[in-house]
Structure formats: structure tokens, C-alpha cells
Amino acid sequence: MPTWHSLPTEMKIAVVQLLPIDDVKRFSKASQGMYTLCLPITFKYVKLNNVEAMQAFLAHVPTAFYHYVHRLEVFTMGSLPTNAAPAEKAISPRTDALVSLLRDCTNLRQLSLKISGGLATHVIPYFSRLDNLKQLSISNEDSERDAPISERLVVSIAASVPNLEELTLDRISRSTLHAPDLINVYPLIPLVAGDDNIDDHPELGSALCLPSLLRIPSLKKLTIRDTHLGDSLWLTTPPACHLEAIDLSGCSYETDDVNSLFVERIISAIGPTVVEASLSTAILGAPFARPSSTPFKRLRKLTISPYFPIESVVDTMTNLSGSPIDTISVQCFADDVADIRSAVKDFLSLRIESGLEFHQNLTQINVSVAACDMKPGNGAEVIGIA
Ligand SMILES: *[C@@H]1O[C@H](CO)[C@@H](O)[C@H](O)[C@H]1NC(C)=O
Ligand SMILES: *[C@@H]1O[C@H](CO)[C@@H](O)[C@H](O)[C@H]1NC(C)=O
Ligand SMILES: *[C@@H]1O[C@H](CO)[C@@H](O)[C@H](O)[C@H]1NC(C)=O
């Protein structure tokens, strides 16, 4: 009988890869050899919930192990001083901790940054070395008025990642440089000033505004939430990417109608390649209802987010009848289930009345209850359509 120790290393690794992470941790304590064998799996996914955890990781984990990290989640909450405003690079202990991580985590595939206390600009160059990074998420966990994150900073970061495919941005602030039309105009949108020190990007130059994200050729999936989408350059920036999935929601400072207008403008520019879309704003424009004129020529999967105005669900699903949608997924909060059910019923009656051509590709409507933090909860219900 061959013993565990006589197995070739490749087979041992194959076994360890099948174990749940807690078992890997137990297994790795069995011997020095097992510890070494388990290292790539032990450090594959690292989650650091605050600045203190970041500092403990930096102090105790040898940098030689950092290249095992494929997926890193960081939350820069904690008692350290807030990063200084963009113009002053001097005080930025949180960003410094992040830089120390990124410098040696060169093998990252997925990176999620939940930023508290701002982010200083000297982090930017470290992103250009992350060749394997495909998914990047940056969210501001503080208020835009206290510790904003500038669009110039995130666009520069995203455009620096060599092969970025999926980008998620949450609560990013417009820059006074790119939004002069919003200065001292009602409603007052929080803007960032003093971010003109961010260097020009080799491809984008000084145009570090949100629409320039469309010039990242590798980008396939773009999610932007709780961010002002009113830049008119969204309409005229020629997309260099083929976006397959989008999830766009407006900002809380504008009305539903204005947010709808902004999102529709963006869709008119990037819609033709999109297969999956998640919406938080109604679609009002007439062109969407006709196959010949809809910008969503290939849309197959539509998700209605929990923040979508319920009274517009039927109209929007009707308005989108120019797209070959086959699955509609409606996410709602628990309190809204009854209203959503009756909206779906109204839509189904309308579909029967409207005849065969109307949403002819639709096979499934999936209603699910979302937890308050936007993650889909339990209780998904699938309504099949014959
Ligand atoms: C789109 O929805 C709006 C209401 O939100 C409605 O007034 C309009 O007629 C709809 N357009 C089409 C083309 O169905
Ligand atoms: C939608 O349905 C029509 C008619 O059944 C079909 O010709 C077309 O290919 C379908 N479109 C897609 C994208 O599946
Ligand atoms: C229904 O939607 C939820 C949330 O988007 C998803 O988790 C679930 O897999 C979907 N179910 C089906 C059968 O598509």
C-alpha cells in the first residue's frame, strides 16, 4: 500500500485542492512538508477587514508568499489618520499599507477595494504591474463630502491595469476639472477639487473622466453605482471595448427621470454589444421598443435591481420589447414582493394581449428577494413561460 508520503507531489496538490479551506488550514499544520504544500491554497484568497488587519498581514506574512494571492479583498477602515487630500501626498498611511500589499501581490486575479478615509494618488503605478488582474472593484465606503474618491483617480487606476475585464465602481465623485457645468448649480453634486496633480495617462492623456473607461479595450463588464453619470462625453467617446454586461445606476442627488436620461444616453452609445444588463432606472425612450432602432440589439438577460422604481417595471419591460430578451430577473426587497408580483402579472397579461411578436424570446421571469445589502437573498422563485 502506498502511503500519503510516497505519493508524488502533483497528486498531493490535487488532493489538497479538493478540500474546503478550513480543512486545508488543519492539514497544513500536520508537518512542515504539508505546510509548504498547502501554501498556495492557504493564501489564494485573502480578506483584510480593516487597516489593523492589513498591518498585521504585512508584519507577519513573508513577502515571498504574496504571489500566491489570487484574490484580495481589502477594507481600509480603521483608526489610522485619513489619507490627505489628493494634492498633498505626505500623509497617507492607509494608501501606504495598500501599496505595500500591491507591490508584491503581483499574481492577483481579483481585487476588491473598499475605501474608507480616501485613497492617495501614489497608488496608481502599482496597478500597471498586475498583468493577471481581470476583476477590479473600487467602492467608497465614506460620504462623498467627507472623503471623496475622484473619477480621475479611478479612471487612471483602471486604465493602468493591463488586462482588465470587469470593473465595478461604487460612489465615485466627479471632478471639477471634468464637470465645470456642475459647479454651484442646483442640485449640488459633491465634486472633487485639487485632483489636477494626477499624471496624464499614456493612452488617455489628461481625459481622466468616467467616459474614458470606454477606451479600455479589454473591458467586458462595467458596473457603476451611486455615481453621477451626466458627463456628455459618454455620448461621443468612441468605445474601444466590447461591453457584454452593464449595471448602471444613477446618483442619489439627481431625480429618477434625470438618472434615466443619463443611463439611456450611455446605453445608446454602448448598447449594441451588451448581452446582459442590470437596471435601476426606468427606460423611457421610444427607440428601445423597436428591433430596428433599439440600442440593445443583443440583450438576452435583463435584471431589474431592487432600487428600480416599482411603478415603472411594466412600462420598462414593455419599452424594452425591441430586444431579444430571454430571461428577466427581478430582484426586490421583502416589502415589495406583493407589488412586484402584481407588476409581473400585469406584464404577463399584456404579453398575452399583445400577440406573438411581443417579447417572443422570453422564456423565464425570475423573481428573487434581495437582502438589504444588494446581495440576492433566499426565496428565489422562477416563473416559467410556456
Ligand atoms: C415607455 O414607458 C413610458 C412610461 O414610463 C410610456 O409613457 C411610453 O409610452 C413607453 N414607450 C413605449 C415605446 O412603449
Ligand atoms: C428570437 O426569436 C425569434 C423567433 O423565434 C428567432 O428567430 C430569433 O433568432 C430569436 N433571437 C435570439 C437572439 O435568440
Ligand atoms: C434567479 O435569480 C437569482 C438572483 O439573481 C439567482 O441567484 C438565481 O440563480 C436565479 N435562478 C434561476 C433559475 O435563474
Mutation test of ligand 3: which of 366, 375, 381, 383 has the most ligand atoms closer than 8 Å to its C-beta? 366
- The stretch 292-302 carries a mean pLDDT of 96
- The stretch 27-46 carries a mean pLDDT of 90
Question: 360 CA to middle of ligand 2, Å?
Answer: 7
Q: Are 81 and 43 in contact (CB under 8 A)?
A: no
Give the integer Cα–Cα distance in Å for 326 and 300. 5
- With residue 45 as reference, give the H or E element that holds it: strand 45-48
Convert the pLDDT of each residue in 155-201 to its tens digit: 999 999 999 999 999 999 999 999 999 999 999 999 999 899 999 99
Nearest protein Cα to ligand 3, atom 14: 366
Residue with more model confidence, 349 or 87: 349
Question: 366 CA to middle of ligand 3, Å?
Answer: 6
In a domain, 174, yes or no: no
Task: Report pTM.
Answer: 0.91
Nearest protein Cα to ligand 3, atom 11: 366
Domain count along the chain? 2
| Across 71-85, 124-138, 343-357, least confident range | 71-85
φ, ψ for residue 196 (rounded to 5)? -80, 0
Give the integer Cα–Cα distance in Å for 272 and 297. 5
What stretches of 203-322 adopt beta strand conformation (E)?
221-225, 245-248, 276-279, 301-304
Question: How many whole angstroms from its chain centre is CA 194?
Answer: 26
Q: Are 151 and 208 in contact (CB under 8 A)?
A: yes
Give the integer Cα–Cα distance in Å for 131 and 329. 34
In a domain, 134, yes or no: no
Distances from the Cα of 313 to the Cα of 153, 255, 380, angstroms: 35, 17, 18
In a domain, 230, yes or no: no
Q: 368: Cβ below 6 Å to ligand 3?
A: yes
Q: Are 102 and 122 in contact (CB under 8 A)?
A: no
In a domain, 100, yes or no: no
Nearest protein Cα to ligand 3, atom 13: 382
In a domain, 354, yes or no: yes
* Average pLDDT of every residue of the chain: 91
Nearest ligand 2 atom to the CA of 300 is 13
What stretches of 204-323 adopt beta strand conformation (E)?
221-225, 245-248, 276-279, 301-304
Q: 366: Cβ below 6 Å to ligand 3?
A: yes
Question: 370 CA to middle of ligand 1, Å?
Answer: 27
In a domain, 374, yes or no: yes
pLDDT at position 223 over 90: yes
DSSP state, residue 173: B
In a domain, 339, yes or no: yes
Residue at 204: amino acid letter: L
- Three-class DSSP category at 71: strand
Which residues make beta-bridge pairs with 222?
167, 246
Cβ neighbours of residue 56 under 8 Å, at least 6 residues apart?
none
In a domain, 1, yes or no: yes
- Expressed as residue numbers, the domain containing 349 is 275-279+289-386
Give the integer Cα–Cα distance in Å for 110 and 71. 5
pLDDT at position 266 over 80: yes
Confidence of residue 373 (pLDDT cuts 50, 70, 90): low
